[in-house]
């Protein structure tokens, strides 16, 4: 309908007045072009070309609308996926932070335990070393005493052998036996 109105307005425009001679003559090119144009418009209307073109445009509009709806759905799906991945990334980051914190805490605890173990080990080794030193000192003192006793006994033997006769030796033996008998009972 619009096309017909546009065509009629085009025919009534000033080009029809610009030609020389009578307008409704086959010698006037403007008149011939106008008749050809009207015939062309008539053929288009006869074969319902405006309806076909309108249908094609409607079909194209529908396909564009469907593509837009599909694009909107895809966009919403992409936003949902993005939100899901961001949430998962946040969860993974929180889990990684917890793992790092746990590892730091375990390392601190292990270091403290190792420090305590080292301190206990050093204390045990010092105690063992002190015991060994005390034992060595006691053994050295005992060795010195034993040696002193041996030397004293040897010296006493020599002195007594020089000063003692048989009678004094017998009296000394009797006295020693009596002392031993008293101490044993």
- Tell whether the model's pLDDT for residue 17 goes beyond 70: no
Q: Report the alpha-carbon distance of residue 177 to residue 185 in Å, rounded.
A: 12
Tell whether 20 is covered by a domain: yes
Q: How many domains does the chain have?
A: 1
Tell whether 61 is covered by a domain: yes
Contact 7, 37 (CB under 8 A): yes
Tell whether 68 is covered by a domain: yes
Query: Whole-model pTM?
Result: 0.39
Q: Report the alpha-carbon distance of residue 53 to residue 44 in Å, rounded.
A: 11
Q: What is the mean pLDDT of residues 46-52?
A: 91
Tell whether 66 is covered by a domain: yes
Tell whether 107 is covered by a domain: no
Position 16 confidence tier, pLDDT thresholds 50, 70, 90: very low
Which residue range is the domain that position 12 belongs to?
2-82
28-37, 61-70, 135-144: range with highest mean pLDDT = 61-70
Tell whether 38 is covered by a domain: yes
Tell whether 63 is covered by a domain: yes
């Amino acid at each position: 309908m619009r096309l017909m109105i546009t065509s009629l307005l085009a025919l009534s425009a000033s080009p029809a007045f610009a030609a020389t001679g009578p307008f409704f003559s086959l010698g006037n090119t403007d008149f011939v072009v106008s008749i050809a144009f009207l015939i062309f418009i008539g053929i288009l209307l006869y074969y319902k070309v405006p309806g076909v073109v309108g249908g094609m445009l409607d079909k194209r509009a529908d396909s564009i609308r469907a593509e837009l709806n599909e694009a909107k759905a895809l966009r919403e799906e992409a936003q949902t996926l993005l939100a899901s991945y961001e949430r998962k990334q946040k969860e993974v980051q929180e889990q990684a932070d917890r793992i790092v914190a746990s590892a730091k805490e375990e390392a601190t605890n292990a270091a403290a335990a190792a420090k305590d173990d080292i301190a206990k080990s050093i204390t045990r080794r010092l105690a063992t070393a002190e015991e060994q030193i005390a034992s060595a000192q006691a053994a050295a003192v005992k060795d010195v005493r034993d040696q002193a006793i041996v030397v004293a006994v040897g010296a006493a033997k020599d002195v007594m052998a020089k000063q003692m006769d048989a009678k004094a030796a017998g009296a000394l033996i009797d006295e020693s036996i009596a002392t031993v008998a008293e101490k044993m009972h």
